[in-house]
Amino acid sequence: MSNYLRNNDDANRETTSPIRRRRLWLATGVVGLTGAVSLAGVAYATTGATGAHRLTDLKWSTAQQLTKDDGKDRDEHGEDRDERGEDRDERGKDRDERGEDRDEHGRVREVPCDDEKLIEAVDLANRDQGGTLKLAPRCTYELSFSDKKSGTGLPTIKQEITIKGNDATIKRDSEDAFRLFRVADGGDLTLKDLTLKDGNAAEFKYGGSQGPGGPAAPQGQAAPQVQAAPQGPQAADAPQAAPAMPTPPKKKDGEADGGALLVERGGSAHLEKTTLTRNNAEGNGGAIANFGRVDLEDSKVENNHAQENGGGIFNVGVLKVKESRITNNTAGENGGGIANGHGKDKDKEHGKDKDKGYWPGIEGRDEAGSVEIFKTSIEGNTADDNGGGVFSSSGFVKIVLSSIKENTACESGGGIYARNTNLDLEKVTVAKNHASKDGGGIVNTGGEKKKEAPSYGGDKKEQEEQEATATIADSEIVENTAGRFGGGIFNGDPDVELKDGYQDKPEGEGDNATLTLRDTEIKGNTALNGGGIFNNKGTVTLTKTHVTKNTATDSSKLHRVAGGILNNDGKVRLDEKSTVTNNDPTNCAGTVKDCFN
């Protein structure tokens, strides 16, 4: 649909001023029309559509026509308004300063409370090199169908588009599964004052899930029976069975990701005062899956679910979260709140791959991105595997002035699980999280530091893997619980072997993971062993840090038990201003120099 009305052909156009021609056209072509030729008829003649709902388009198109005339607007006396200093953008004032809306393209499209109008407006913005859409206040736009190519309820964002929500809601209202927004390479989407609800990203099936047995039945119905080909003499005269349908193509990255929003590589999205709730993904990112760049500010991501990683948000690009809440999301694998990268393969055990001797996921699926979190609450999230609040598999994660509370991991890392990650926490509270295995508050772990790799010269050489490094400063790790080791923090190799006996043994190399604690309190945490900190083959350095009132519940008398710090085949260093006190049953076990029991 064209954004502009056609010029009215007039025999006197050579002698009539442009503004007068337009007024004559409007007077004779709109006001003077009667009978069957009405305003609706004009809407049809100019936009190709009928109905009262098209009058908005007419008003918009007419207004644009009245302001478009070879760069000048003359009144009926032929005077140039620019010469009179009226209505000039060159004055450095846009419509916002005059109390009207205006984007960089010179217009704002107001979208009525109609889902079809919303789809049309996004499509027009894409074809018109972007723009700003203003939604109807507090309207609920219910999307009932999707684009079959993209699996998305709205047209794929390919330009710079801003949507001002006015407290409106965009939701999926269909039995079909589809996400709400998709941002392609080169697209830039800004959402403000908006709620995205009930999106459901699913693997797209061309005509249904098909395999060797033929097409799958719709959900809830029995699969159609494929009759076997007749045998014997009658086979030649019998009709042949239909050939088996081809197997559907393999799922691509992003296909089933991002229940509300998928941002592809090269795309970006900026969300401000936006709520994403009750969205679901068959893959990663219950609410958001980011392969490009996403900025989230003053927003809420709550009650979303991903069958794989990132119940709230999945990231392998650049993610920045500021002054927001990530709450009550769930993941079938890793990262109940946020997952930075994929987790381990489902057929691998927690720990090393016994056959290959290195961490699963390093090859192929260990891609991760960069995450920065500022003044944000991550609470009440759950992961069936690791990282109840935050999960990261390589990449960079920085969290400042935030809280990680009451999250749960069914395996390890109740609050945070970081593997081969540069983890940086500053002024962060990690409290009341739980892990069924290790690291009620935090897990910091890495792959093997070195492994043999073939060289082109024929000789094998040692190849260094990325080491896990965590720095925690001015923070609190309090009242977290673990079912096995490290109520507050687990650092190092998750493959733990505690040998019987109470004699201290020499320190290990400490090469699995590096943890530095500065001006931090580790208090009131509980685990089977290593209530405050459990270090296994890693290195821990404490500076002006206090480990106090932590508890180990293991009643075994066969091996070492520590309420404060247990060091197993690793290194632990305390400066003179750090203390380990009032832990139960002992402060330290293993080789922890300068620790008083």
Angle at which helices 55-66 and 18-26 cross, to 10°: 160
Residue 146 region by backbone torsions, left for phi larger than 0, else alpha for psi between -120 and 50, else beta: beta
Distances (CA, A) of 96 to 79, 125, 128, 568: 26, 20, 21, 64
Grade residue 203 by pLDDT with cuts at 50, 70 and 90.
confident
Q: Is there a single domain that holds both residue 306 and residue 187?
A: yes
Please name the helix (run of DSSP H) or strand (run of DSSP E) that holds residue 572, with its range, or none.
Answer: strand 571-574
The two tokens of residue 274 are: 């936006």
Residue 163 has pLDDT above 80, yes or no: yes
Asked if the structure places residue 456 within a domain, the reply is no
- Averaged pLDDT of the chain: 77
Residue 209 has pLDDT above 50, yes or no: no
Q: Is there a single domain that holds both residue 86 and residue 112?
A: no
Grade residue 254 by pLDDT with cuts at 50, 70 and 90.
confident
Distances (CA, A) of 374 to 263, 404, 500: 21, 12, 44
Distances (CA, A) of 364 to 171, 207, 213, 432, 493: 34, 30, 31, 34, 22
Q: Is there a single domain that holds both residue 478 and residue 561?
A: yes
Asked if the structure places residue 554 within a domain, the reply is yes
Q: Per mean pLDDT, which range of 55-59, 146-150, 190-194, 335-339 is the poorest?
A: 55-59
Q: Is there a single domain that holds both residue 305 and residue 191?
A: yes
* DSSP one-letter code for 152: B
Residue 39 has pLDDT above 70, yes or no: no
End position of a domain, from candidates 337, 368, 383: 383
Alpha-carbon radius of gyration of the chain: 31
Q: Is there a single domain that holds both residue 166 and residue 259?
A: yes
Q: What is the pLDDT of residues 440-477, one digit of tens each?
A: 999 999 965 544 444 445 554 444 555 799 999 999 99
Q: Is there a single domain that holds both residue 59 and residue 175?
A: no
Distances (CA, A) of 448 to 343, 394, 464, 509: 17, 14, 8, 12
Q: What is the pLDDT of residues 368-427, one digit of tens each?
A: 899 999 999 999 999 999 999 999 999 999 999 999 999 999 999 999 999 999 999 999
CB 226 within 8 A of CB 241: yes
Domain that holds residue 34: 18-91
Q: How many domains does the chain have?
A: 3
* CB atoms closer than 10 angstroms to residue 450: 12
Asked if the structure places residue 68 within a domain, the reply is yes
Distances (CA, A) of 550 to 24, 364, 489, 521, 586: 86, 40, 11, 11, 9
Nearest-angstrom CA–CA distance, 185 and 263 = 8
In this prediction, residue 467 carries a pLDDT of: 74
Mean pLDDT of 114-121: 97
Q: What is the pLDDT of residues 269-290, one digit of tens each?
A: 999 999 999 999 999 999 999 9
Q: Is there a single domain that holds both residue 178 and residue 67?
A: no
Distances (CA, A) of 275 to 132, 169, 180, 296, 592: 20, 9, 13, 10, 48
Residue 521 has pLDDT above 70, yes or no: yes
Nearest-angstrom CA–CA distance, 432 and 434 = 7
Asked if the structure places residue 262 within a domain, the reply is yes
Q: Is there a single domain that holds both residue 63 and residue 138?
A: no
End position of a domain, from candidates 383, 398, 431: 383
Q: Which residue in the block uniquely carries the two structure tokens 């159609």?
A: 224
End position of a domain, from candidates 30, 62, 91: 91
Dihedral angle computed from the Cα positions of residues 68, 70, 74 and 80, in that order, rounded to the nearest 10 degrees: 130
Question: Percentage of the chain surpassing pLDDT 70?
Answer: 65
Asked if the structure places residue 96 within a domain, the reply is no
Q: Is there a single domain that holds both residue 194 and residue 287?
A: yes
Q: What is the pLDDT of residues 565-586, one digit of tens each?
A: 999 999 999 999 999 999 999 9
Q: Is there a single domain that holds both residue 181 and residue 328?
A: yes
Mean pLDDT of 112-139: 96
In this prediction, residue 222 carries a pLDDT of: 38
- Check residues 548 and 505 and name the one with the higher pLDDT: 548
CB 24 within 8 A of CB 30: no
Nearest-angstrom CA–CA distance, 141 and 218 = 27
Asked if the structure places residue 566 within a domain, the reply is yes
Q: Is there a single domain that holds both residue 56 and residue 146?
A: no
Q: What is the pLDDT of residues 1-29, one digit of tens each?
A: 333 333 333 333 333 343 333 333 333 34
Q: Is there a single domain that holds both residue 48 and residue 128?
A: no
Asked if the structure places residue 366 within a domain, the reply is yes
Distances (CA, A) of 366 to 417, 420, 543: 14, 9, 32
